[in-house]
Copies of this chain bind each other. A is one copy, B any other.
Amino acid sequence: MSYSAAVSGASGYAGGEVLRLLANHPEVHIRTVTAHSNAGQRLGELQPHLHTLADQVLVETTPENLAGHDVVFLALPHGASAEIAAQLGEDTVVIDAAADHRLENPADWEKFYGSAHQGTWPYGLPELPGQRAKLAGARRIAVPGCYPTTVLLGLAPAFASGQVLPDDVVIVAATGTSGAGKSLKPHLLGSEVMGGMSPYGVGGGHRHTPEIEQGLTWAAGEPVQVSFTPTLAPMSRGILATSTAKIAPGTTVDSLREAYAAHYDAEPFVHLLPEGQWPATKQVVGSNHVTIQVAVDEHAGRAVVVSASDNLTKGTAGGAVQSMNLALGLPETAGLNLLGVAP
């Protein structure tokens, strides 16, 4: 195993998922795991599912502890990464699961995050048109958000092929609770979550909105505008995104399926399902796979695309490892040959 890795935020859900994937990566070994309030504890206490890593001890998340690795994963709250990256040396591959360097437009960043923009890093979604080349050999990578990953993979071929219109995209998505992390908030208690659904960030306020628009704008080659409503579903993992856009004249389900097939046929992790089959999040839980199906509602004049992912895997840690593979020149699928755990 040629490459050494440090994983910060190793006591959280995103950090834990990075560790789960790296534990079986053929070319990377986990040398350092860091945390903040949990420093000093064994991983076995905090991530008891990572049996083979149980005895690794968390150290404080400091630039000193993160320095000297080939790869550093940042699974920290946004705001921390630019400063840490500056102290890690330009040869280190820094992969940031937070939002800091995803947005190109400083105004978007400031509006949605309320702080100064710290620059833009290559966007770790290789299946978007043109992105894979930017990730090869990169030394700084911004991992996309879990909703943007799922929505962009779902809509990009439709926009890239000019078959849908950019001015009135409507997206409603459901996420599992792990997307909210381990923070102790009343509405995330099991008693509140189980057996019910609720929305949040309604009306355009969710921070993933500008990120979705940015990615769709890249794909469309013109500005795309979306209405995005996230909802919280009673499950630990998974995102199901229902994305609709008005169809351009001449668009049919066949023409859309053709575009998707062409776009994804060579992709190892993104799958247009056969006609008649629809994505379900359980098909992809624990895996780096994304499934997609498209329909055309001629009555409403809209294409409807449903895409499913595991928010922690392809939506965060899997996307991070996939990008790392590209950055290091490894096979893109290394360490990611996991299948969904169903049922």
Q: Indicate if A48 sits at the interface (CB-CB under 8 A).
A: yes
| Alpha-carbon separation in the docked complex, A156 to B45 (Å) | 25
CB contact between A238 and one of B192, B195, B306 (< 8 Å): that residue: B195
| Alpha-carbon separation in the docked complex, A40 to B311 (Å) | 34
Q: Indicate if A8 sits at the interface (CB-CB under 8 A).
A: no
Q: Indicate if A27 sits at the interface (CB-CB under 8 A).
A: no
Whether B202 contacts A340 by the Cβ 8 Å rule is no
Contacts A51-B271, A189-B188, A226-B300 hold; do A196 and B306 have CB atoms under 8 A apart? no
| Alpha-carbon separation in the docked complex, A171 to B107 (Å) | 31
Whether B49 contacts A284 by the Cβ 8 Å rule is yes
| Alpha-carbon separation in the docked complex, A195 to B233 (Å) | 9
Q: Indicate if A163 sits at the interface (CB-CB under 8 A).
A: no
Stretch at the interface among A71-79, A141-149, A179-187: A179-187
Whether B340 contacts A49 by the Cβ 8 Å rule is yes
Whether A235 contacts B234 by the Cβ 8 Å rule is yes
Minimum CB–CB distance for A143 against chain B, Å: 19
Q: Indicate if A161 sits at the interface (CB-CB under 8 A).
A: no
| Alpha-carbon separation in the docked complex, A197 to B311 (Å) | 13
Q: Indicate if A133 sits at the interface (CB-CB under 8 A).
A: no
Copies of the protein in its oligomer: 4
| Alpha-carbon separation in the docked complex, A196 to B310 (Å) | 10
Which B residues lie within 8 Å of A293 (CB)? Answer: 202
Whether A242 contacts B343 by the Cβ 8 Å rule is no
Q: Indicate if A170 sits at the interface (CB-CB under 8 A).
A: yes
Contacts A189-B177, A194-B195 hold; do A49 and B283 have CB atoms under 8 A apart? yes
Whether B234 contacts A233 by the Cβ 8 Å rule is yes
Q: Indicate if A251 sits at the interface (CB-CB under 8 A).
A: no
Q: Indicate if A130 sits at the interface (CB-CB under 8 A).
A: no
29 CB < 8 A contacts A-B = A13-B343, A23-B339, A24-B337, A49-B284, A49-B287, A49-B342, A50-B339, A51-B339, A51-B340, A168-B300, A174-B197, A174-B233, A188-B189, A188-B191, A191-B236, A194-B234, A195-B195, A196-B285, A197-B235, A197-B238, A198-B240, A198-B308, A199-B279, A202-B295, A204-B300, A227-B300, A237-B343, A338-B338, A341-B341
Given A198-B280, A286-B286, 20 more pairs with CB closer than 8 A: A49-B341, A51-B289, A168-B246, A168-B300, A170-B170, A170-B244, A174-B233, A189-B190, A189-B343, A190-B193, A192-B343, A196-B235, A196-B285, A197-B280, A198-B278, A202-B242, A225-B300, A233-B234, A234-B235, A236-B282
